[in-house]
Amino acid sequence: MRRSLVFVLAALFVARALGAAAADQQWTFCVASAPAGDDVWITDVFAAGRDRLKLEADLKIYLKTRGVVGADAQCPLPNGDKTAAVNAQFAAADFNRKLGHTLHEVAAPEFAPRR
């Protein structure tokens, strides 16, 4: 399940990234799945202010503080086209719904690191 989710997300963003021009604002979202694979968390689309690996780690920490241990988090490469990022987020949510997963929405600022 996780690999198929990663491949879908990667394919959506690789195709967009190749044709997209550089932009000032970069947009992304993140998806995480529980170890059992039945529950999936998906964030809003947000401006990517930190690198992907940090975003993924922050989402894992956010979920761990809520009792979800061992979640697998993935954030597609940021994209300069917000509409494309929203479409990819919608496609990821739809994909997981079709697989029968329980979706949980996460407001992106909720998993922002505390300073």
- The pLDDT, as a whole number, for residue 14 is 41
Question: HEC states along the chain?
Answer: CHHHHHHHHHHHHHHHHHHCCCCCCCEECCEEECCCCCEEEEECCEECCCCHHHHHHHHHHHHHCCCCCCCEEECCCCECCHHHHHHHHHHHHHHHHHCCCEEEEECHHHHCCCC
Nearest to 60 by CA among 52, 90, 11, 4: 52
State which residues form the domain around 93. 2-111
- The pLDDT, as a whole number, for residue 2 is 58
pLDDT band (50, 70, 90) for residue 1: low
Which residue in the block uniquely carries the two structure tokens 């979202």?
Answer: 29
pLDDT tens per residue across span 67-105: 999 999 999 999 999 999 999 999 999 999 999 999 999
Considering the entire predicted model, what is its pTM?
0.75
pLDDT tens per residue across span 11-48: 444 445 544 444 489 999 999 999 887 999 999 999 98
- The pLDDT, as a whole number, for residue 11 is 43
d(CA 19, CA 16): 5
Q: Report the domain count for the chain.
A: 1
